[in-house]
Amino acid sequence: MITLLVCLFVTSINQSVVSIAGPSIVAALGGFEYYAWIFSAFSLTSAICVPIVGKLNDIYGAKKVILYSLIIFTFSTLLCGLSNSMFFFIFSRAIQGIGFAGVMGTIWILIASLWEPKERGKWLGITSAGFTTSGVIGPIIGGVINDILNWRWIFHLNIPISIFAIIFLIKIFPKQDLLEKKKFDYYGALVFSIFASTFLFAISSLNNSSSAISISFFLLIFASLISLGIFIYYEKNNPEGLVDLSLFKYKFFTGGMLGSLFIVISWTVWSVFLPLTLIGVNGYSASKASLALIALSIGSAIGANFFGNLIGKPRMYLPVSITGFSVVGISMVVSGYTNLEINFNYMLLLALFVGFGSTGAFSAYTVPIQNNLPEERLAIITTSLQFSRVFGISLGSSLLGVILLLNMNTYDYESPRKEIYDPDNIASVEKIKEIKNSYLESNLTKSQFNEDLKISRNNLKNGLRIVYYSASITSIFGIIISLYIFRKINPHQLEVEDSKQNE
């Protein structure tokens, strides 16, 4: 179990570290319009690989899958640190997502297979504690390294730990017997990859209003719909396909997939766009901004403990889910309504509430969904819910990134004024200092620089404000779905619950 926890820590800490370093990466490599793709590319490949990992474990065994996945993750981490262009960095993040999915997917499978049902809760709790620890430590490490060294060292310093985990796996992890031969659905994986990629590229193309982009949008949407149709047709006729489409006849499965999707879109605002808000709009250092992500993780830990004790009761499914979505939605609206001009301590409090509420929604769309669907299909149900959440991060990052760009103005000034209006630069203290010196060398006044910097930050703030408002809509959808699937609970479940309480 120690080996698995090391692997979990190495891969999960990377996410919170990259979140806090995102603005600095954009400032160094350029390409603010691709900011969301730092996270979308990673989540897209992870989502595609989620259903694949389960199949690969059945065919090749857990040791091979987690070992090769960790090697892929380590190699791609090296590539991220060496990147000299935004395109290559996003490409490296996409590869990293493949390794991440392999490691995390295998860990969840092993927890289910290595321990008896009565023991799983304990080990699941230990695993969740590992997540929380990485969520708290990651932002601190990322912020300090980013401020003292630079963002590249965030990736470089992760490599020795990853190599240690690889050696640990090779020497300690037990070998497995030859497994039963099964077929892998390569064709289904390929077609679904085409669908997901073209769909997200179509969304991203909306950030430009030119006619050429409009044409590309319709072409990409057409390609995604065709590939989705082919995927559905093929999976219906494939007994060993990636997805069991027959599960969609159950309202708990359909609602669970949609609810899981909406939960993480809201979460994306705070894990992806909150650091950009604090660093790019308010001018805080990465170290200070990391405190908000720590508050988010602490809120999640509190929520996990609070809602975890309630969600085992069927009559609490609806109250827990509505409470979770409502807390998150209200926090989003408050952020947008105040125009993001919130005292830093209040922003930490909002992050705490979002972490708390998100965990409630996550809880309602995990155990209750599993308990109301066929027990013999638990593995595919769990994998499908996980896929929906990971894909939701990719979809949310892309969609909210487009909303941000569409609600920002463009300015056309001569150098050096054009540099301060470039959103690539305003999230970097070093870049701002360089531009300020350029102003003074060009006989522009310090007051002119301060005024331009204020306008540029307000431009970013106005775009982000709409992002927060837009994300709050997903909470409304989440509440509607919760009412649909949880409003009428099986009376037998309530009788069982009441009998247990009377014992």
pLDDT digits (tens, 9 = 90+) for 175-209: 665 555 666 677 887 888 888 888 888 877 776 55
Q: What is the spatial distance between Cα 427 and Cα 413, in angstroms, rounded to a whole number? A: 19
- Same-domain pairing of 500 and 371: yes
Residue 90's pLDDT is 92
Q: What is the spatial distance between Cα 403 and Cα 398, in angstroms, rounded to a whole number? A: 9
Answer whether residue 181 is part of any domain.
no
Answer whether residue 476 is part of any domain.
yes
- Same-domain pairing of 260 and 221: no
Residue 238's pLDDT is 75
Whether the Cβ atoms of residue 249 and residue 437 lie closer than 8 Å to each other:
no
Residue 130's pLDDT is 61
Strands (E), 313-417: none
Highest mean pLDDT among 256-260, 406-410, 424-428, 496-500: 256-260
pLDDT at 372 over 70: yes
Question: Of 173, 207, 222, which residue is a domain's last?
Answer: 173
Strands (E), 297-376: none
Answer whether residue 410 is part of any domain.
yes
Answer whether residue 46 is part of any domain.
yes
Residue 497's pLDDT is 45
Whether the Cβ atoms of residue 354 and residue 327 lie closer than 8 Å to each other:
yes
pLDDT digits (tens, 9 = 90+) for 29-81: 888 888 888 888 888 888 888 777 777 777 777 778 888 999 999 999 999 99
pLDDT digits (tens, 9 = 90+) for 261-311: 888 888 888 888 888 888 888 888 888 888 888 888 888 888 877 887 787
Number of domain units in the chain: 3
* Burial class (CB within 10 angstroms; exposed 0-12, middle 13-18, buried 19+) of 487: exposed
Q: What is the spatial distance between Cα 134 and Cα 157, in angstroms, rounded to a whole number? A: 15
Residue 417's pLDDT is 82
- Same-domain pairing of 131 and 216: no
If you ran DSSP here, which 8-state letter would residue 411 be given?
A: -
- Residue 233 belongs to what domain range? 186-241
Q: What is the spatial distance between Cα 155 and Cα 161, in angstroms, rounded to a whole number? A: 11
pLDDT at 89 over 90: yes
Whether the Cβ atoms of residue 416 and residue 438 lie closer than 8 Å to each other:
yes
- Same-domain pairing of 360 and 408: yes
pLDDT at 242 over 50: yes
Mean pLDDT of the chain: 80
- Same-domain pairing of 354 and 464: yes
Q: Please count the residues of the chain.
A: 503
pLDDT at 244 over 80: no
Residue 234's pLDDT is 84
- Same-domain pairing of 141 and 215: no
- Using CA atoms, how far residue 444 sits from 420, 429, 441, 455, in Å, is 13, 20, 7, 16
Residues near 270 by beta carbon (within 8 Å), at least 6 away in sequence: 292, 296, 351, 354, 355
Lowest mean pLDDT among 19-23, 66-70, 198-202, 488-492: 488-492
- Same-domain pairing of 4 and 149: yes
pLDDT at 501 over 50: no
- Same-domain pairing of 232 and 104: no
- Same-domain pairing of 271 and 156: no
Domain with residue 21: its CATH number is: 1.20.1250.20
Query: Once rounded to an integer, what is the mean pLDDT over residues 99-125?
Result: 65
- Please state whether the peptide bond connecting residue 239 to the residue before it is cis, i.e. omega within 30 degrees of 0: no
Answer whether residue 179 is part of any domain.
no
Answer whether residue 33 is part of any domain.
yes
Highest mean pLDDT among 58-67, 68-77, 144-153, 337-346: 68-77
pLDDT at 331 over 60: yes
- Same-domain pairing of 235 and 249: no
- Same-domain pairing of 150 and 220: no
Residue 75's pLDDT is 94
pLDDT at 498 over 60: no
Residues near 152 by beta carbon (within 8 Å), at least 6 away in sequence: 81, 82
- Same-domain pairing of 235 and 254: no
Residue 322's pLDDT is 92
Answer whether residue 500 is part of any domain.
yes
Answer whether residue 391 is part of any domain.
yes
Question: Of 202, 218, 241, which residue is a domain's last?
Answer: 241
